[in-house]
Amino acid sequence: MFSLSFISYQPLLTGLLILTTACHSPSVSSQTSVRKPSSTVNQKPVLALQTGAEQFKEYIADLKGKRVALVVNHTSLVGKTHLADTLLSQKINIVKIFAPEHGFRGDADAGEHVSNTIDKKTGLPLISIYGKNKKPSPEQLKDVDVVIFDIQDVGARFYTYISTMHYVMEACAENKKKCLILDRPNPNGHYFDGPVLKPAFKSFIGMHQIPVVHGLTVGELAQMINGEGWLANNVKCDLKVIQVKGYTHQTPYVLPVRPSPGLPTEASIRLYPSICFFEGTTISLGRGTDFSFQVAGAPNPIYGSFTFTPKTTAIVKNPPHENQLCYGKDYRQDTTRHLTLKYLLDFYNMTPDKNKFFLTTKHFDLLAGSEELKKQILAGMTEEQIRATWQSDLQKYATIRKKYLLYPDK
């Protein structure tokens, strides 16, 4: 039997706790378990939401008698069981698995090559769709009828699982295959913010003309990609989305496992949209420590009294400032729940030689989605002034976003 070990991916918090909302209907409550969060023991019990993958009855008919390919990783869970286990137990004919960045089990470093191989548990082919082969080929889809995408996103434009979804949809459209999206909540889905990507800066860390924080689930974004004609040559994907029950965009959501090696905690996921910009600078985000994406620093005492030393680990290879004592800031207790430029601007303003703050590559511009943000920072603009330049594009995006919402939104 196919089984996966998640020992290295301890739950961020036990249970998925959500607030009671108007969208909880009797039909939902009859199918879900009732839990009491420890912090609200005096309140009424709350309903645990149901992800798309957990609603097996909603998509079993699409799979019976079909040849199925999965685009999945370690986050593709049905309760505590991997989606592949669930499907195999129901005698679904899985013919192959496509693995995204970080690999099938989520244990590859960011940017690390993911190899094609055979899964030892099942004998199923594991095909990498990260690196040179980002898009399933016609040959790889020849023996497939339905492709299932079920991967946890964190709501930031530069998180590459949504780029993988784009290419999977495009391949399905071009090869006339059905694409089934098993939707999951977005832990940063309660807002959208940041500069909107300009087409000239399209890359694998930014495929779409959306803001840094897009405020959509992968199912909603898939509909937007299809509806706005963003697939190559305006092809349309035969798309079906299995929605999350009991979810709104204001529903707090704590992931049961880390979505990727660099995001080990709830705090790192909240901070990610704001501090990932540091990846395009000389500042380390703590890769190679136990608190990646929760700290920032460099080998210079001017940046702060908190210290850490990045080291190569089983997952992280050659992190920035490897084996050097870095000085900086510890954000692990930061409770910010929105995008802010404060961290980035603080470090930039502390840097003596500001011409050496940004990397000489275009990585920062690709993260930002244009060259404007770097120019604005170099010009000494404040966060308020920079934000003002985003508003027109954000208003246009808000109109587009509204067309594709599947869940209640303020």
Which sequence spans correspond to the domains of the chain? 56-252, 266-379
Distances (CA, A) of 175 to 136, 185, 239, 386: 10, 29, 13, 43
Q: What is the pLDDT of residues 297-329, one digit of tens each?
A: 999 999 999 999 999 988 888 999 999 999 999
For the stretch 276-289, pLDDT in tens is 999 999 999 999 99
pTM for the full model? 0.86
* Strand 193-196 versus strand 211-213 pairing type: antiparallel
The residue type of 302 is: I
Res 3 pLDDT > 80:
no
Report pLDDT digits (tens) over 48-70: 799 999 999 999 999 999 999 99
- The residues facing 94 across adjacent strands are 68
327-383 pLDDT, tens per residue?
A: 999 999 999 999 999 999 999 999 999 999 999 999 999 999 999 999 999 999 999
Only one residue has tokens 């090559």, namely 113
Out of 1.10.3720.10, 1.10.10.10, 3.40.50.12170, 3.30.428.10, select the CATH number for domain 56-252: 3.40.50.12170
In this structure, are strands 306-308 and 295-298 parallel, antiparallel, or unpaired? Answer: unpaired
Q: What pLDDT was estimated at residue 95?
A: 96
